[in-house]
Structure 1
Amino acid sequence: MSSLKKQSGSLHEKAGISPPEITNSAAIHQIQKNRRKQPSAAELINGILDQNRTALSRAITLVESTHPEHAEKANEVIQGCLPHANKSIRIGITGVPGVGKSTFIEAFGKFLTALGKKVAVLAVDPSSSLSHGSILGDKTRMEELVKDENAFIRPSASGDTLGGVARKTRESIILCEAAGFDTIIIETVGVGQSETAVHSMVDFFLLLKISGAGDELQGIKRGIMEMADAIVINKADGDNIKKAQQAKLEFNRALHLFPPKKSNWQPKVTTCSAITNEGISEIWDTISQYFVQTNASGFFQEKRKDQNHFWMMETINEHLKSNFYNQPGIIGQLEQIKKAVQNDEISPFAAARFLLSEYKKQL
């Protein structure tokens, strides 16, 4: 009986020792006060130009905000940074999920920082179509690069933007350039149409592929191959080296099927291993050759001008769309019209014309 009592008594949790009260209420108040304080546009601009990463991060968060009240302040920050931008190399990197984009970017980024470059990585993570959440795990996957003082990694959720490109990536590039980063890397989510949007905001477009996964055949398709300035067969290590070399031959043959690029640049195909760093320096040599050639021909500057025009039109379209859905009259009728369309009481086209006519009345 006594042994039973002893056993049951051992199951009860014993009271521990409470830690001494060392919390400083004044310090807590100061921290909360600083958190509530929102820096002005001028303070953010000055912080960015002073290469303050906290200011840069807060400015990108402001730019990405969908709150209407933040738009004017974000535009002021962008306008203040614009004279100090456009002094970087912008590189877009894409590839299907599993091709090793994050591992490659870390190896490539470390190589660039070792050369004295300042690298900003704008990584776009896919958002769930159900929960609308995003993992934002790029900093975890680039654990070495994230600790590099010459690198800045900013993951952003793709949200509901077509193709999975973060809505304000273009503006984030300007902020990073103003903060002194001379090499901007944009990683797409690799879901298809995001490549088109990224291609419209970068100078050099790099397509990552892997061998032995049917990618050789898929890569021959038009579109993505026509946009690529270089194709890199990743994971060319171990038993996969021969397969990677064979894939390189296949892609080289495929590239000859396409007409010459407007830039007169002949896309290169190479292999690399982000694990062993084999081939990383050759990729940078290819990119450097591209910039020398396109700068000499004037194509580099013309492409930047065309991209600025493209993003002006995109911004107009985005503003009109946002203004339409935020009109009180539209908000009040949208759900009712949607239900009527779903119940086949009105055609989608007639419903759209009705809503647009209601929108015009409120202008």
Structure 2
Amino acid sequence: MSVRTDPAPRRRDWQALAAGVLKGDRSAIGRALTLIESRRADDWTAAQSLLNHLLPYSGKAQRVGISGVPGVGKSTFIETLGTYLTGVEHRVAVLAVDPSSGRTGGSILGDKTRMEKLATDTNAFIRPSPSAGVLGGVARATREAMIILEAAGFDVVLIETVGTGQSETMVSDMVDLFLVLMLPGAGDDLQGIKKGILELADIIALNKADVFADKLKQSMRDYKAALHILTDASPNWHPPVVACSGLTGEGVAELWRTVEKHRRITTDSGERDNRRRTQRLTWLNTQLRDRLVEHFDADASVKAIRSDLEEDVLAGRRTVSAAVDSLLSAWTRPDKETGGP
């Protein structure tokens, strides 16, 4: 029995999905997101066709990255912020990024159940990251998901990250504004706070201000002092420190007004557009490196010698540089019938 390989059904599938996404159909949006997360070759082709079709309809949303250490109350804060935004006629999409979830079963993938009110809001859409457990795969899926969600009419995209490791830099490279949640009192010892995350922040929000009211004023002074030591990433914006409560909603409206102020200033100065152009170029180079590594790892000539070379390196019989040269020579050898870049 022969297997049908006609590509027409796939082509019709992505065309139907595109039409559904542009109408804001939630079922079509979900299927489109599943398609771009797939690693099947035929799905990849269909996904790229879908994304190319939707790309002109994307790019109008405010993209906000939200990070913070575990326990800072990100999910509660995001639900409160998202509910506030839908209440003032925004359409909100939430993308949860957790590259470690495939190994640890991280709780961030439970956001859809922990944000119960927002999950049932017709003007909101929550999507956890795929559990592939690889940063590059999660980054690709998140960036491409933004295209779909923006084309579907969501004008605010919130991207949540776990608050540890490389994921902060990854998310800051795909958003217009990076918001870092901190707890009042944590600033008592600023030596323990990662300098890197403060350098990425466009706004620092001290969450749970209602619970830690006695520490709030001192913490705000501590963070403001720390930010004055650092060089601002933007010539047009100095990161403010604001107070809020994801539980009670206190300060959330004011925080969003600060986000909108940032958007006005960076838009008027041209910085927002420049930032997005730089992000696209960064993403192109990142994707190129990732794809080259995939081709390299899958190459038959490389696989044929890699184990022996690794054993030689482990045993001290060959230098790492020599082993790399041998692998690259095998990969780029012109007389190969298959494989290579």
Structure 2 length normalisation: TM-score?
0.88
Using the TM superposition, name which of 134-143 and 197-206 deviates more: 134-143
Question: d(CA) in 2 for partners of 1:173 and 1:141?
Answer: 22
Three-state SS of the structure 2 residue aligned to 1:208 is strand
> Which of 39, 54, 57 is the aligned partner of 1:66?
39
Q: Does 1:78 align with 2:51?
A: yes
| Structure 2 residue aligned with 1:312 | 284
Q: Does 1:155 align with 2:125?
A: no
| Structure 1 residue aligned with 2:89 | 116
- Asked if the contact 1:101/1:208 (under 8 Å) is kept, the reply is yes
Q: Identity across aligned pairs (percent)?
A: 45
Using the TM superposition, name which of 107-116 and 134-143 deviates more: 134-143
| Structure 2 residue aligned with 1:9 | none
In the TM superposition, what is the alpha-carbon distance from 1:349 to its structure 2 partner?
Answer: 3.1
Q: Does 1:274 align with 2:255?
A: no
> Which of 337, 340, 352 is the aligned partner of 2:324?
352
> Which of 138, 146, 169 is the aligned partner of 1:196?
169
What is the identity, as a one-letter code, of the residue corresponding to 1:138? D
Q: Superposition pairs for residues 74-153 of structure 1, below 5 Å?
A: 74-127=47-100, 131=103, 136-153=109-126
- Asked if the contact 1:41/1:77 (under 8 Å) is kept, the reply is yes
- Asked if the contact 2:63/2:176 (under 8 Å) is kept, the reply is yes
Question: d(CA) in 2 for partners of 1:164 and 1:282?
Answer: 35
Post-superposition Cα deviations, 1:220-248, rounded to whole Å, max 9, x if no partner, equal: 6532212111000111113x112122211
| Structure 2 residue aligned with 1:224 | 197
- Asked if the contact 1:157/1:166 (under 8 Å) is kept, the reply is no
Question: d(CA) in 2 for partners of 1:137 and 1:203?
Answer: 26
Three-state SS of the structure 2 residue aligned to 1:167 is helix
- Asked if the contact 2:74/2:181 (under 8 Å) is kept, the reply is yes
- Asked if the contact 2:187/2:222 (under 8 Å) is kept, the reply is no
- Asked if the contact 1:220/1:251 (under 8 Å) is kept, the reply is no
Question: d(CA) in 2 for partners of 1:251 and 1:206?
Answer: 14
In the TM superposition, what is the alpha-carbon distance from 1:162 to its structure 2 partner?
Answer: 4.1
C-alpha spacing 1:113/1:128, structure 2 compared with 1 (3 Å) = closer
Query: What are structure 1's unaligned runs of at least 5 residues?
Result: 1-36
Question: d(CA) in 2 for partners of 1:87 and 1:324?
Answer: 37
> Which of 49, 55, 62 is the aligned partner of 2:22?
49
Question: d(CA) in 2 for partners of 1:219 and 1:200?
Answer: 24
In the TM superposition, what is the alpha-carbon distance from 1:325 to its structure 2 partner?
Answer: 1.5
- Asked if the contact 1:164/1:189 (under 8 Å) is kept, the reply is no
- Asked if the contact 1:216/1:247 (under 8 Å) is kept, the reply is no
In the TM superposition, what is the alpha-carbon distance from 1:328 to its structure 2 partner?
Answer: 2.5
Three-state SS of the structure 2 residue aligned to 1:278 is coil
Question: d(CA) in 1 for partners of 2:182 and 2:305?
Answer: 48
What is the identity, as a one-letter code, of the residue corresponding to 2:72? V
As a proportion of its length, which structure holds more helix?
Answer: 2
Question: d(CA) in 2 for partners of 1:132 and 1:167?
Answer: 21
Question: d(CA) in 2 for partners of 1:114 and 1:268?
Answer: 25
| Structure 1 residue aligned with 2:293 | 321
Q: Does 1:264 align with 2:236?
A: yes
C-alpha spacing 1:89/1:355, structure 2 compared with 1 (3 Å) = same
Post-superposition Cα deviations, 1:74-94, rounded to whole Å, max 9, x if no partner, equal: 111110100100010000001
Structure of higher CA gyration radius: 1
Question: d(CA) in 1 for partners of 2:67 and 2:160?
Answer: 6
What is the identity, as a one-letter code, of the residue corresponding to 1:341? V
Using the TM superposition, name which of 341-350 and 94-103 deviates more: 341-350
C-alpha spacing 1:219/1:144, structure 2 compared with 1 (3 Å) = farther
Question: d(CA) in 1 for partners of 2:137 and 2:48?
Answer: 23
In the TM superposition, what is the alpha-carbon distance from 1:98 to its structure 2 partner?
Answer: 1.3
Question: d(CA) in 2 for partners of 1:158 and 1:293?
Answer: 37
- Asked if the contact 2:37/2:130 (under 8 Å) is kept, the reply is no
In the TM superposition, what is the alpha-carbon distance from 1:346 to its structure 2 partner?
Answer: 3.3
C-alpha spacing 1:127/1:254, structure 2 compared with 1 (3 Å) = closer
Three-state SS of the structure 2 residue aligned to 1:153 is strand
Using the TM superposition, name which of 286-295 and 210-219 deviates more: 210-219
> Which of 195, 205, 211 is the aligned partner of 2:184?
211
| Structure 2 residue aligned with 1:175 | 148
Question: d(CA) in 2 for partners of 1:47 and 1:245?
Answer: 49
What is the identity, as a one-letter code, of the residue corresponding to 1:69? D
Three-state SS of the structure 2 residue aligned to 1:168 is helix
What is the identity, as a one-letter code, of the residue corresponding to 1:159? A
Post-superposition Cα deviations, 1:101-151, rounded to whole Å, max 9, x if no partner, equal: 11110010000000100000000134357x475552111111111011100
- Asked if the contact 1:329/1:359 (under 8 Å) is kept, the reply is yes
